[in-house]
Every structure is written in structure tokens, then in C-alpha cells.
Structure 1
Amino acid sequence: MGGEPKLPTTSLTLLFIIFFSLSTNARFTPPDNYLIDCGSPQNTILDDGRTFKSDPQSVSFLSTDENIFASSNSVPESESLPLYKTARIFDTESVYKFLVFHPGRHFLRLYFHPLHHPEYNLTTAVFTVKTDDGLVLLHDFSASQNSDCLFKEYLINVTSDDFSLIFSPLKKSFAFVNAIEFVSAPNELVPDSATTISPPGMFTGVSAYDLQVVHRVNVGGPTVTPKNDTLSRTWMSDSRGYMVFPKGEKVVSVDPSVINYPVGGATALIAPDQVYSSAASMADSGVSVPNFNLTWEMNVDPGFNYLIRLHFCDIVSTRLNSLYFNVYVNGLSGVNGLDLSTLTSDLAMAYYKDFVINASTVVKGVIRVQVGPSDLESTTPNAILNGLEVMKMSSSAGSLDGLFSSGSNSRGGSKRLPMTITEATGVAIGVIMLLVLIFSLIRRKNKARGWDEGGNSFTSWFLPINASYCSTFLSSKSKSKNGYSSVLFSKVGLGRSFGFDELRDATKNFDESAVIGVGGFGKVYIGEIEEGKKLAIKRGNPRSSQGMNEFQTEIELLSKLRHRHLVSLIGYCDENNEMILVYEYMANGPLRDHLYGSKPALPSLTWKQRLEISIGAARGLHYLHTGGSSQGIIHRDVKTTNILLDDNFVAKVSDFGLSKTGPALDQTHVSTAVKGSFGYLDPEYFRRQQLTEKSDVYSFGVVLFEILCARPALDPTLPREQVNLAEWAMHKQRKGVIDTIVDPIIAKTISSESLIKYVEAAEKCLAEYGVDRPSMGDVLWNLEFALQLQDASLQLDPLVEDDTCKGKTKMVASEDVKKDEKKNNDSDVSILINDDSGVVMGSPLFSKMEDIEGR
């Protein structure tokens, strides 16, 4: 390690590589090249040779004739120090407009530093920066006087023959900018596809997104300035706080002249020689088997998807096929057993790999990249990284700023409708006027019927359940003593009408000790009404919009659905501006708590119980897909926390906040943004954003293995290869040793025939492509067959299950025992609703449910 590698190539190959390397290192000449030093009285020449035009010479690009400048010589140190010495200030909305001679990818670089001005305090400036086609770059942006010089870099896909950059000050404020670069970039910088981390697969359509470069790091080397980069980029040294465990890092470098670029792969436009000629490798840890990862952490904005580019070049090996290592992003496996020799066929050959990570995997605003050895039995286990880039992907709302981020995975996030601002404004005004007219008419009719006496109806929350419901609302004339129709909601399937006082008494005035869940919609309470009957009461919060779409979806679906294996909606309350839904109470709570993770631990389920629960959940999903509506319903969030158990351990599917109506007869899928829970998410749905019933089938396959193995779908505390349950179980199944990961509590009670049929059903559910997966009806048939095989084995040997359950809780047929268990269960408290907005368990009464997590 550390020296220049020997390159085992023939003379002819070497000559070709040298020629190709020289050709790829040719400096890129951008067709569009606008460099402006805002507020500067003269041109500014940087040490890399680039000339930034003075602001007066650039005024032809501006929409304003105002010339308000700021300047100062006391500017913090920076590689681009001269550009921060002056600034232009805008009192009103102002536009820079540039002609585009070569449409395609362009770098947009903005420089900000709040300089002193006698009349304008730039530290108080608040403004928005966006493009002419609606891409928000900065929203309500401000810069602090104590901050360092701020640099923002974007990669924007320009499709027209001009480009406008709009600075919009907040009311009674102003905007400023120190320097602007608008420069053509090679289109090859952003390919169309990248590897997804969770679920593993490919993400296509990357080129449709606009990007913001958040971090660009030269790992193991010094800072690379624009002077040494083909595209005038800056690569920060990882010595600036990116490396989490510096003592584990060994810096390796070679002469940049030995770096080669493969045909059709990385080029000097992707990253310069200086990046590929230095690397971080594993230092000698002082133990015989190094078992640690090199780790880099970078702060990012939550709520966005990110494109992560890792750069590799094997400058540590002296021979081919001697370096194998794993790559992880945010604790999830990116590549197992990466072998650069096989990929590049040579040493010192540049290589890069792109990953896309979903916003849901970005925890606490941190992206963590790790590399570690995959072959610990090797004589010299090692791992390397030469460079990394983190790029924020534009949201579906057309934004690169947090306020407008939707966290969506939809492809083409940067694509805007081909509509002018005037047209868009006209359409928006028309829609608003139409809505105002509609709701004013509804309010007038409601008021004429006395509906505003004492409270508001569902329509006051803008929750139109469907057209037939609205007609029922407007046509009903019968009213209760509170001024509401007592028959009204029963007609639309919302069940019993509860009085607000009745539910307040049931929850002891909505006491905090009765809270069993908290989400964006409000809180869920346990309540007890006449004759001790327990209910789960979801009290919506009309002042919170978070979770309201999911709340509405659940109302729509549950008002139409009735099935033994679906959680039932008992009734509602619509008084005193309240929106309250009442559900049946599920005494034994989520299935997950009976498999693992509950505190205190609950009695283990027998294998037969688990089969019956699987069958019940499958029946519920099969009903959704086939009998819930004419088009079927896709649940979209099947997992063990959304399968609830009643006092007899009958499984019922719950939480329909993300559910979607299935495709029409002439369609194959529903196009929609990806939503769900990682670990259960259908990889095909994730890649293509095309939802089908087979997406539920995939999730249910994960649930089946979760039931069998009694472990989470994702467990980052386990060794890397075991983190994802679906991958780990399929790996074991392919090796024919699935029995080694079965929950040891039930392992000896399962007949081999039952296990084979059960695993076969789960395996088919996890097929990569939806067309290869069975329907829920087929899955149900296989599970029932597995139960029959288990029953047959018990008839042959009735003591098998009893012998293995000694010392544990057993399910027996005695009605007396069942009554005793029911009585004991009634004293326990469990949760009914696991809302997608998250669950916070704060009550000591529900301490056993504290590990429940929302999406």
C-alpha cells in the first residue's frame, strides 16, 4: 500500500490507454459561459485563469436599471475571495436573462456574503431565487453576517434558448448576490439511471431531475480548486470533518499521471486525476481481523431524495483481484463484494458508481457513506474510497429548497408543465373562484337547514367523501337534538352517531393517560362506553393539515368496507367543530408485538396461531383486492404493525390512510408517488412508480418471513448481509437452509411439509417482478394448505407441539381457559391505529406498545 501500483498491461494496451487518457483530460470548453462579478467596477481574473465580467459590463443581462452596490475588503478567507468583495443589491424583483446557445445541462453557481452598506443591512435581507420555469432554488433565503461566504451550486437541465434567474425580495426587504456563474456542463455528468439502496434495484429517469451539489469531497487528498478541475469545480478535502473515525483511515496517493480512464466509463470530466490519485484505505487496526468500516458523514436537508456518486480507483493493490469490499449508504447495503479489477480490468483505472436514496432513509438530516472489507479471511482485508459527491434531487413540486419539498419519489421531479406564468395564474384564480362559489352555495344551503347551529359538519373540513355522500348531506332534513342528522351518516356507512359528551365521558375528558397514539391527524384514545365496551377513538385536529389526506382516505374506504378481517369503523362524532371516528377495539394489538420488540415481552404465538393469523390477514387483503370495490383496493402499507389481533387472536388489517383504488379494467397499474414502509416496499413499484395489487403481495411476503423468523423487516444492528429480512431469507432459501433462521421458539413444532409450503408461498410473493408473483387468492390457498399439512402432522404425532411448549404459554381448546385469557386480556391495553404520521407512546398504561413506529 502507498506506492505506485504495477500495471499489468501489454504495450499496445498501454499505448491506447495513454492516448485515451490524454484525450479525456482535454479541458472542456463550455459553449455558454457567463461569469459575472456583481457590483465590481472592473473585471476580476481568478487564479484559475477565468475572467468574471464587471457588473456594469453585465447590466445588459439585467431587467433593472438600478445600480446599488456594496463592497468591502474585510472578507473571510476563501478560494474565490475576490468574488465576495462586491455585491449588487435589488430593491424590487429583478431578472438576469442569458441566451442559451447549447441547451442541456448547465452549472449555476451563486456566491453570497452580506457586505457592509451604509443604507442596506445585508444580514437582514430575505429573498427567493428561482428560474423562469418555476424551479425554486432558494426560498426566503437570508445570510448571517457572522457566517462564512456562502456558495450554492446547481446542475440545471435547460431546454429552451434562454435562461432567466429571478431574485424576488420579501415584502419590505431586498435581495443581493455577489457573483454568478452560468456555464454549460457536459450532459454525461448526469446519467439516466442509478442503483437504489432500499429496496435494491435500478432507478431510471435521473436525467429528468435538477440537482443541487451539496457536498463534493476529495477523499484522502487535499482540496482540489477550480484551477485543477476540468469543469472548474471545488473538491473539499475529507480532513474537514467528514471522516468519522480518522484513526482508522490510511491515506494513499500516487502520481496523477498513472491514472487511467476506461473506454465508455469514467473520464476526467466525471472527476479530475487529483481525485482518483488519492484515496482513504483502512489503517492497521492492531488486530488480526479488522472488522470496521471507513465512515463519512454529511449533513443534508431532510425531505429530499439524493443522488450519491462514489469514486473509486485501485491505487493500493499490486495485483488484480486482490481487493474486495462492501459499500453501505445510511446503514443499508449498496454493493457487496465490490471488485474493481473485474469492473475495470486493470489497476489505477478510474471508476464511479451512482446511488439514489429515498428521503425516508435520510434520518436526522445525515447521509452516511461507509466502505468495509467483505472478505475478512483475506491476508490483507481492505477497503478504499477516492471521492464522493452528494446531490439533492428536485422535488415533484419543482423545488430544491426545503419549504417546497414534497419528499416524493416521483420521476421527473424537475419537469414543469408547459404553461406560462400568466396562464398558470389565470388557471389558479379560476379554480379558487370556483371553489369559493361551490362552498358558499353549500354553506348557504346548510345554514338554511340549521346546520350551523352548534357545530360544523364534515364539509367544514373540506373532506368530500364522494358525490353520493355529499348529496345525502344536502338532502337530509332530519336532525338530532344538536341540530345534526342522526340518520344521515348511517346512510353513508359511517355507523353510529356518538354525542361529543358521550365520547368525552368515555375517555375521561380526553385524558392524556388514555392516549394510545399521536399523529398529524390528532390523537387516538382508548374509551369505554356502556356495559364496559372498549373502543378506539381517533380525534382529528382541524388545525393540522398533516395526515388529513390519509385520514380522509381511511374514512372513504372504511365507510364502504365490511369484512371479518378488516378493522371496523363503529361510528363517528360531528359536533362542536369536532371530527372523531370510532373503531372497534383490538385487545391484542399489533401482530408485531407478539413476535418481537414488546416491553414487557408478550407470550409467544404457536406455529398454528401464526398460520391462522397469516390466513386471516391474507383473507382481508384478498377481499380488498377483489371485493372491496369494482376496481379493487390496494392497501399500500402492509406490515405487521398494521395487522391487529382481537381478543381471540383473529387478524384484521388496519390503517388504510395510504390505500389506493386499483387500476381500471383497461389499465395495468396506477401511476403514483411511492409511499409505504421501507423493508416492505415492492422494488418494482419503487423503480417505476407504478402501483399494482402485486405490490401488496410483495409486502405480505415480507410479513410472512417476519412471522416465521420473529425479527424486523429491517434491522441495522445485525451484520450487513442480514439487515434486510427479505434478502436474507431469500438467500437462505436458495441455499436450502431456511430452517436455520426460523424462530427457535417454534422451530421444533413445525412439520417439514408445512414449512416447505409456507416458505414457497412467501418466496413467490417476493419475486422481483409483479407478473411473477401470485395473487392474494393464490397466497391464501397455499397458506391454508400449509395449515392442513401442519394439522395432519399433529394428528400423526399429537404431542409434538405440546412437548415443545413446555414452560411456555400454550393455546388450548378449553372454553374456560379461553374465557380466562379473554378476561386477562381485557385488563391489558393495546393500540388500534398505527397512523402513518407516526405514533408517540406517552402513557404508562401503554408502555408495552412503546416500540411502535410510524412510517
Structure 2
Amino acid sequence: MAGSLSLTTTGKYFSSNGRDVMVSISSANVSSPIYLSAQIFIEEATFTFPMTCPGWHWIRLHFFTLSNNEFNLQNAKFTVTTDTLVLLREFNVKDNNNMNDWFFNEFLVNVTTERLSIKFSPVKGGPAFINAIEVVSAPDMLITDIGSTLFPVGPFNGLSTQSYQTMYRFNVGGPELTSQNDTLGPTWVIDEQYQAHKELGKNVSVSPTVIKYPEETGPIRTMEVEMGSANVASPNFNVTWNLNIDLVYQYLIRLHFCDIVSKSLNDLYFNVYINGKTAISGIDLSTLTGSLATAYYKDFVVNSSMVSSPFSIQIGPWTQGTGAIDALLNGLEVLKMNNSVGSLDGEFSVDGKLANGVNRGTVAAVGFAMMFGAFVGLGAMAVKWQKRPQGWENWNSFSSWLLPLHSGDSSFMNSKNSLGSRKSQFFSSTMGLGRYFSFAELTDATKNWDANAVIGVGGFGNVYYGELDDGTKVAVKRGNPQSEQGINEFQTEIQMLSKLRHRHLVSLIGYCDENTEMILVYKFMSNGPLRDHLYRKDLSPLSWKQRLEICIGAARGLHYLHTGAAQGIIHCDVKTTNILLDKLFIAKMADFGLSKDAPTSEQNHVSTAVKGSFGCLDPEYFRKKQLTDKSDVYSFGVVLLEVLCARPALNPALPREQVNNDGPSSEPGGVGNAMERKGMLEKIIDPHLAGAINPESMKKFAEAAEKCLADYSVDRPTMGDVLWNLEYALQLQEASLQGKVKDEKKASDPIVSPTLVVPVAASTPDNRPISLLEQVRNPAEVPVINEHSGTEMFAQYTTISGR
């Protein structure tokens, strides 16, 4: 803390060239004794604070209009500045609707000098006054340098160079919080008066000891803060908060989340809207944090010239998912950002410079240049008109011959190759991006984005089935243009697929970036994702040979990613949903939105925020945030076990204590060691494979999966090694089948080759299904299986830190 001044301690910090007056009263209806006294200035006065260390500091100016015989403080008007920043300009308590009440204005400033000066300047001969000043150091991580913008969507750099004024800070669904609850000192007010329809939400609270705070968010909300939740009561409505803001400034919107309502992971998806625009689509907090009841926040920078007042924040359920129909918000902060001349109040800087001010000469020059450019443009169009081609009336697009550039040229890709009309046949061959599609073409192909044509849903957006004019069947992935996740994945996927071509990777046919659209067009995979063929009972089960061939195909695709490109690529989201099957059941790796370039020869890993799918995520990557190609290997090991057992990696229906990290699955050893126990595999394989697997083939397959799931990445094989083992397992299976056919021809009584006996389903006395981990560790206690169930789970993956 740099300083906290009441009027009895201002002497060594205070300087003034004129008269100052001390006033006080004995009692009043105020929250603190600091409001019972005030210092009044007739001339300019300055408070100077020595800074022990540079960085973020809260500045709080406390005001209460004390009655006195000499000055009417309700009429006081003054300006408050630092050396470089205008905090308040011609400030008057009447203008802030606080005439008869105490209040304070709070600012957040990045101080880089050895001293901080706060200057009070009376306006028009009137007095200035102050009851108390706080200058409190704040954690460096309170504001990072990078945020996200809305309208348009994109990154915002330079947050650490800005100064801020707190406009709103809500403890959503909870009581008012003061410095007694938050060690940083901010006050969190009740949000009810700002809710548009209180009946649409309900308040939920839990004990503060339940909440987990990641290292990067710990100092921001302390353990004493009781988290609240606004819970949507109806799927047809959004919970809305309406706020009044000054439309001249930009604002930093910080949304605080903590899932204290879900009973299982990956069950709650919801949307967040800022001023009616989608800010976050289908957010799943458990995927972002890795667990339940874990604090998380998201920052957005909003250019208020693109919005209106009242300014709205809304949360609502994500109706395209299968989880709980609900939404939540725990806290909300709205911080005003300084303008271009360093002012948080008014258009003028400390030295009187006008924001965005230009002289008349500059205006005249700009106007002349614009007029000249307009004449040149009109002249060019006139020449073009005189040279118009014959039959131009029959062209599909007037602009296709009259204007030199297609609108896509100014869109996301900003490429001269992004030319096209409604029936575009232009190709971006130099960039490897394939064909450019117009939005109208894809609208026709998907029958106006028919909801019945949706064949997949993800964080990026929806995937539609479509047919082009030439009859080509395509999968059209349409991103959400307001989603930060969407634009990042669109950029990553188009960059990755533009430089990758392989039989076992999905084929990118083309793209569309018209206006704000982000659309990728792929060759349609008629047999869909591998996951459907493992768990959907309306599809014929895959044979063991088919499963081996699919795993081999996927392994070849991953092996190419790791070694085939100039710089290796890490997929980062290997799972059965992202392995697609064509009409011949040839496997193709898909969804490269989270992919990363592999480390160079000088690096051992890529340091990055953890992203991926819970259940398939490498626990070493989760712990250390260090990504390598062995993270893909681990995820592929999970896929191999799913293929063998036909059970999902996670079962959210299990009790909460088994889903979180405090379950028995965090013990060392895991499946890897337990697989070696005799007889275990026979008890967990897919019942549809009973009698059809050669024991040696299964053993080799299981060895490959076991090695992939090693605790440490250095102990895992490369994808090339995994591929070799799988191909060997296929050879053993084929040799066994050939030998069986020969034996049947030679003998009158066929000799059956060694097979596996699949016992009946495991359950506990309370009829709860036994998890795979329990079966692995206690094989003697597991009864046999009599019915295939796609809802079983690999309990060793319910915790991210163990297997």
C-alpha cells in the first residue's frame, strides 16, 4: 500500500500556494469515520505520494459534503489530475447525484515514476475539497496486456498502458462485499437494481472454501469472497443487466465465472451477450478450468461508439447442446478506459490538448484529398463503362466486370486470390486455400442453412451438409463471427490445412470470408465420426479388422502431422469425434482449430495455455502447460482404449466426487500397470468382439495403448512406433483368420481358434455401473458383461492428473 490519507495525516504529503480549511463534524450516517472531516482548498493544491515500487495502483477519492459556515460544498466544482492523467474534470457532486450521501471514485493507474502527484484545481473561484485519499498497490497480473475486442472481434494489445475508472462492480447473486471480504479493498455492490427482469434468475451460493482459485486469478478474488450465481430459470429468456455509460469512451468488461451449480463436467454450456451481440458462444467452464467450482474470468474491450446506452450484459442457455439448460454469472466489472489524450473525464488532456483535435489546415488538406480521390474513382468507372463488354446485362454480378476487386479482397484473408462471384471458379492456388466460395453459393448448397442439415455442433459453430452445383457433397463448417474462439480456430485451421495434404487428413475444398463470415468447406465424410460407430446402437458394430484399419489410418495421419511438414504440427484435440470415416471407412483426422506448430530443434516443448477435450487431455501437458507431440500420443492412447472397449473416456453421470480430482484415479500406476494383470482385458472389451479377436493381435494392440498412456511423455512412443505396432496387430489378426479358413477346409470338425470369453456387466450392490478403473484394479471382483453399454467410462481419465 502506497498510502491512505485522512485529514489528520496529510501534512507531509500536502502542498498548496493558497489557503486551505479543515472542517469536521462529530457524527453522520456514513460508512467510515474518514467522511467526518474534509480539507477545502481555495487555490491549486497537490498531494504527493512516494512510490516504493512501480506498477498498478488503486486511487480512491472519498467525498462527503460536510456542512460548514464558510463554504457550500454542494456547489464546489474542481478538476483532479495526476501529472499525465485527468481523473475528474470540472467535477461537481450535483452532477453525480450524490449530494446527500458519501461516495468515492475509484481509478486504476499504472504508475511508472518514483512519485505520484494528485492535484486539485478549483474552477471559477469556487472551492475544492476531499475527505480522504487512498493509493493502494495492486497485483501486476490484475490487468494483462492483451484482451479481446468486440465489434469487430479481434485481439486488443496495450491494456497495461491504459488507465481505468471503475464504473460498475457487481457481486452477482450475492451480498455487498467490502474490504473486509476482499483483501484488495474494492467494493462489490449488489446487482439487483440493474437487472431487467429479476424473476428470470435465482441466486445460488456456496461456502467460500469450495472455490478453487488458479494461480493467475488468485489475487483478483480472494478466498473470503462468497461467490454468487445468476441462474437462468427459463430456456426462452436471457438474464439481463442494463448499465448507463458515457458513449465517448472505450470500456474494459471483465466477466467473472465459477461453475458452482453443475454436478458433473461438460454438462453446462451457455452464451454471453454484450449489447445484444454474441461475446461467448457455448462456453463450458469445466473445459476451460479443468474442474468444477474453479474461478475464471474473461476480459472484453468494447468501443462504445459501436453500442448504445443503456449498455446490456446478458447470459442465456446454449440451446444447441445436450447438457443442462442453464447459465450463470458470478461477478461483473465495467472499467472506463482513458481516451487518446490521457483523460478519464472530458475531451481535454492535462495540458489542455483536445482529444482527436486537428487544425483547420489539416481538415482542409484531408477534404481536398478525399474530393480528388472521388473524382479519380468516378473517372475510372466512366472509362470502364465506355469499355463494358457485350452482353453485360446477362452477367450475374454487375460489379464482377465494372469494379476491379471482389468484396472478399478486403475481408479476413485480404488476398488478391480471394476473387469470385456467385458462381465463382477462382482458386487461391498460390496460398493453397482451395476454391473461394461466395456466401450465396453456400447458402444454396445448404438450402438456406437448413437446421435439418446440421451434422455437427462445436465451439467453432455448426457443420452443415451441402451439395454444390456440380453435385459434390460437402461439409460446410460455419463459424460464429462474434466468437473469439471461432475466429482464432478459423485462422488456425485455414493456415494448417493450406499447407497439409494427406490421404488420412480431411480435404479442404475451399472457404468463404465474405463480410464477417468464417466458413470452411470440406469433402463430405459419409460415415461420420468414429465415435458414432462405437456408441450408436442404430449402426452396425465395427469388426476388429475394421477398427484396426481405422486406427492405423488415424495413426498415419498423426504421424504425417508430426513429421511430414517442414515444421511438425501438434493436433492438440485427438479424440474419436475428430476421426472421420469416408464411404470406404478410411479414417481422416479432422478439426485443426487448436493445432500448434511443434517445437523447433532448439526447443523441447511449446509453452501455451491448456486447450483440448477433457478426458483425452495429456495430464503432463495440463500440469506443466508444456505441449509436445507426445501429448497427441497420449490422447491417441485414449482413442485406442475406446476402440477396444467401446466406452467413452468420461461418464458425467457418475457422482461428483468421482468426476473431480479427488477420486481414486489420481493414484499412480493407472491403467498402464493394471493392464498387465492377467485376465483384465477379457473383462472390458466390447462384447461385439467376443470370439472374433486373435489373442496375440489384441495383446499387441493393448501394448500400444499402454505405452501411449505412460505417465511421463519421455516414456511414450512416437506415432511412428505406434503405427508399427498397430500394423503388426493387423497382420496377426489377418494371419489368424487365414489359418482358421485353412483348418476348416482340412478338418471335418472345425477347430476353433483361441478366442476371448466376454463376461457380464459389472455393477455394485446399488446397481451403479463399475468404472473401467475399478475393473482394471480389481479384476477378480468384476462379474461378466451381458449387455453392451455406451455410457460406461474410463474413470482413470476423470482426473486430469492421473491415469
Paired with 1:682 and 1:524, the residues of 2 have a C-alpha distance of 27
2:169 aligned with 1:141, yes or no?
A: yes
Paired with 1:100 and 1:149, the residues of 2 have a C-alpha distance of 21
Q: How far did 1:684 drift?
A: 1.5
Aligned to 2:686: 743
Distance 1:143 1:688, change over 3 A: closer
Q: How far did 1:422 drift?
A: 9.1
Residues 509-534 of structure 1, C-alpha deviation per residue, up to 9 Å, x if partnerless? 43333233455655432122356432
Q: How far did 1:643 drift?
A: 0.5
Contact 2:446 2:453 in 1 (8 A): yes
Paired with 1:732 and 1:590, the residues of 2 have a C-alpha distance of 30
Paired with 1:763 and 1:696, the residues of 2 have a C-alpha distance of 14
Residues 695-714 of structure 1, C-alpha deviation per residue, up to 9 Å, x if partnerless? 11111111111111111111
Partner secondary structure for residue 583 of structure 2? coil
> Residue 615 of structure 1 is aligned with which of 534, 549, 552?
552
Aligned to 2:221: 212
Matches within 5 A, 1:509-588: 509-518=448-457, 523-529=462-468, 532-540=471-479, 542=481, 545-573=484-512, 580-588=519-527
Paired with 1:748 and 1:35, the residues of 2 have a C-alpha distance of 84
1:714 counterpart letter in structure 2: L
Q: How far did 1:493 drift?
A: 1.6
Aligned to 2:593: 657
Partner secondary structure for residue 728 of structure 2? helix
Paired with 1:69 and 1:646, the residues of 2 have a C-alpha distance of 79
2:335 aligned with 1:392, yes or no?
A: no
Aligned to 1:794: 737
Distance 1:612 1:488, change over 3 A: closer
Aligned to 1:646: 582
Percent identity for Structure 1 against Structure 2: 45
1:615 counterpart letter in structure 2: I
Partner secondary structure for residue 691 of structure 2? helix
Distance 1:726 1:553, change over 3 A: farther
Contact 1:705 1:726 in 2 (8 A): no
Q: How far did 1:572 drift?
A: 3.5
1:745 counterpart letter in structure 2: H
2:574 aligned with 1:671, yes or no?
A: no
Residues 157-203 of structure 1, C-alpha deviation per residue, up to 9 Å, x if partnerless? 8xxxxxx97999xxxx9xxxxxxxxxxxxxxxx9xxx9999xxxxx9
Q: How far did 1:658 drift?
A: 0.8
Paired with 1:147 and 1:304, the residues of 2 have a C-alpha distance of 13
Matches within 5 A, 1:714-729: 714-718=650-654, 729=671
Paired with 1:560 and 1:106, the residues of 2 have a C-alpha distance of 37
> Residue 490 of structure 1 is aligned with which of 410, 424, 429?
429
Matches within 5 A, 1:273-422: 304=257, 331=264, 360-362=284-286, 392=295
State the structure with more CA Rg. Answer: 2
Distance 1:69 1:142, change over 3 A: farther
Paired with 2:343 and 2:592, the residues of 1 have a C-alpha distance of 34
2:411 aligned with 1:461, yes or no?
A: yes
> Residue 720 of structure 2 is aligned with which of 763, 773, 777?
777
Unpaired runs of at least 5, structure 1: 1-29, 71-84, 108-130, 158-163, 174-189, 198-202, 218-235, 239-300, 309-327, 333-358, 369-389, 406-420, 431-439, 465-469, 806-847, 849-855
Q: How far did 1:794 drift?
A: 2.2
2:672 aligned with 1:733, yes or no?
A: no
Q: How far did 1:394 drift?
A: 6.1
Q: How far did 1:548 drift?
A: 1.3
1:140 counterpart letter in structure 2: Y
Distance 1:404 1:493, change over 3 A: farther
Partner secondary structure for residue 748 of structure 1? coil
Distance 1:133 1:704, change over 3 A: same
Q: How far did 1:720 drift?
A: 7.7
Q: How far did 1:729 drift?
A: 4.0
Distance 1:482 1:206, change over 3 A: closer
Paired with 1:687 and 1:541, the residues of 2 have a C-alpha distance of 31
2:645 aligned with 1:636, yes or no?
A: no
Which moves more between the two structures, 735-744 or 666-675? 735-744
Partner secondary structure for residue 211 of structure 1? coil
Aligned to 1:681: 617
Aligned to 1:313: none
Aligned to 1:755: 698
Partner secondary structure for residue 547 of structure 1? helix
> Residue 649 of structure 2 is aligned with which of 713, 720, 725?
713
Partner secondary structure for residue 680 of structure 1? coil
Paired with 1:614 and 1:165, the residues of 2 have a C-alpha distance of 55
Unpaired runs of at least 5, structure 2: 8-22, 41-46, 50-58, 68-99, 110-117, 119-131, 143-158, 195-207, 229-253, 266-282, 302-311, 316-339, 350-354, 357-369, 385-398, 745-751, 758-789, 791-803
Paired with 1:534 and 1:330, the residues of 2 have a C-alpha distance of 41
Which moves more between the two structures, 516-525 or 784-793? 516-525
Contact 2:693 2:755 in 1 (8 A): no
2:601 aligned with 1:592, yes or no?
A: no
Aligned to 2:37: 56
Partner secondary structure for residue 706 of structure 1? helix
Q: How far did 1:635 drift?
A: 0.8
Paired with 2:463 and 2:405, the residues of 1 have a C-alpha distance of 21
Which moves more between the two structures, 724-733 or 565-574? 724-733
Distance 1:458 1:57, change over 3 A: same
Partner secondary structure for residue 685 of structure 1? helix
Distance 1:716 1:90, change over 3 A: closer
Distance 1:609 1:561, change over 3 A: same
Contact 2:406 2:421 in 1 (8 A): no
Partner secondary structure for residue 212 of structure 1? coil
Residues 501-560 of structure 1, C-alpha deviation per residue, up to 9 Å, x if partnerless? 554443334333323345565543212235643211234555655501101211111122
Paired with 1:424 and 1:642, the residues of 2 have a C-alpha distance of 50
Paired with 1:697 and 1:396, the residues of 2 have a C-alpha distance of 33
Contact 2:446 2:466 in 1 (8 A): yes
Query: Which structure is richer in relative contact order (CA contacts within 8 A, separation 6 or more)?
Result: 1
Number of residue pairs the alignment of both structures matches: 511
1:552 counterpart letter in structure 2: Q
Paired with 2:575 and 2:180, the residues of 1 have a C-alpha distance of 40
Contact 1:701 1:766 in 2 (8 A): yes
Contact 1:594 1:603 in 2 (8 A): yes
Contact 2:287 2:614 in 1 (8 A): no
Contact 1:44 1:53 in 2 (8 A): no
> Residue 765 of structure 1 is aligned with which of 699, 704, 708?
708
Contact 1:590 1:641 in 2 (8 A): yes
1:633 counterpart letter in structure 2: I
Contact 2:672 2:707 in 1 (8 A): no
